[in-house]
Structure 1
């Protein structure tokens, strides 16, 4: 039997989540077609403090599925250390992406989708962010609701900048 660590404070969970958004490279992305057919894929991402940026082919189900409603789910981590993001995605053509965003994505991931014509970016604006490790963190898992952060990091440490 695994003995869980004590639950983290909301401030610590937020710091850990912002660190993951800044440092992690991979996420699971879930969308659904208008017919309700689910699609779950891993994608690389970059975080700018307010939105996630991902890239995929325009014809892939992930990009096609976000077009009708924009609804998307993104998960970072493992089943025992989860960050779940619910948000809205918009398709951004590489030529329409601000240069700073494209440069930051390429610098973090070593790949520049702007040089791949069939690729588009997904710009994801989080509406809900939850983070938990074990069952003992389920009750306080909400970090963001309706696009508003519920906690502030108590000490900046290495944490990413929290959007205002």
Structure 2
């Protein structure tokens, strides 16, 4: 099998991933309930100070699942240019959200949910990141481990 382009260096993949985190708007978020029932939903996000900030109704399964488990997987891109993020998740009330984070979300989406009691923010702190395009990029796909970007 031939590949149209050589594999990117880790440095280039990391930069491409950071660019995507900054510019993309939506991600697939996977969580599981306390009894293991999975949920996969698309949510809009803003990359702010090394975390992904999203919002959803507090009664939606994704928000409910964050409370007992605190873990999530997030996917960006399509199957030939994917970023997979393993993250620790937390629910943040709009009234507890730092002003800069709330402003960043509101600016990116022209949508400010602070003060709306039916909604909560979800903050995802990555601890592992993998990125690859084709099979030739699978070696070295790990870009972050234990919360630290790899050199």
1:132 aligns with 2:99: no
Question: Structure 1: where are the runs of 5+ without partners?
Answer: 152-164
Task: Report which of the two has the higher share of strand.
Answer: 2
Q: Deviations over 1:94-127 (max 9, x none)?
A: 0000111100111011211215321100111100
Confirm or deny: 8 A CA contact 2:32 2:69 kept in the other structure: no
TM-score w.r.t. the length of structure 1 is 0.88
Task: Tell me: higher relative CO, structure 1 or 2? Use CA pairs within 8 A at least 6 residues apart.
Answer: 1
Aligned length: 151
| Residues 92-131 of structure 1 mapped to structure 2, 5 A cutoff | 92-131=92-131
Q: Deviations over 1:39-80 (max 9, x none)?
A: 000000001141110000110000000101200011000010
Confirm or deny: 8 A CA contact 1:4 1:134 kept in the other structure: no
Structure 2 distance, partners of 1:57, 1:141, is 34
Detail structure 1 runs of 4+ shifted over 4 Å in the superposition. none
**Cα displacement (A) at 1:6:** 1.2
